[in-house]
Amino acid sequence: MKEKKDFYQVIEEICAGDDRYKPDSYEFVMQALNFTQTKLKKQGHLSGQELLEGIRQFAIEQYGPMAKTVLNHWGINKTEDFGNIVFNMVKQKLLSKTENDSADDFKDIYDFDVVFSNVLGDSII
């Protein structure tokens, strides 16, 4: 249990310094990372684009037609926001990056209105 407590304490510190995103958004990104690694059968590092595609799928799976609403509630309105969250966690050593990774890897990868607009229940129309 100490591990989880430490994660949440670090997230509280991040949110105290950067209040753009709610603490739930950080937990969601970690869950989406695990989901994506499992789906891709890949351990360790993912590219920004791989993670964003996994985040998209995970959000739809978890929240269906409410995915965009939930993400917006957490302060996430565009893919760049996920990059900010990831790099906030990198700064706190919750995640690591390679020398080629950049927050720019998350810029303008997909439009929330497009990817979350045709979601109905557990499927994409």
Which residues are CB-neighbours of 68 under 8 A, at least 6 positions away?
A: 112, 113, 116, 117
pLDDT tens, the chain, 125 aa long: 454 558 999 999 999 999 999 999 999 999 999 999 999 999 889 999 999 999 999 999 999 999 999 999 999 999 999 999 999 999 999 999 999 999 999 999 999 989 988 766 544 44
Q: What does the angle CA 12 – CA 105 – CA 68 come to, to the nearest 5 degrees?
A: 60
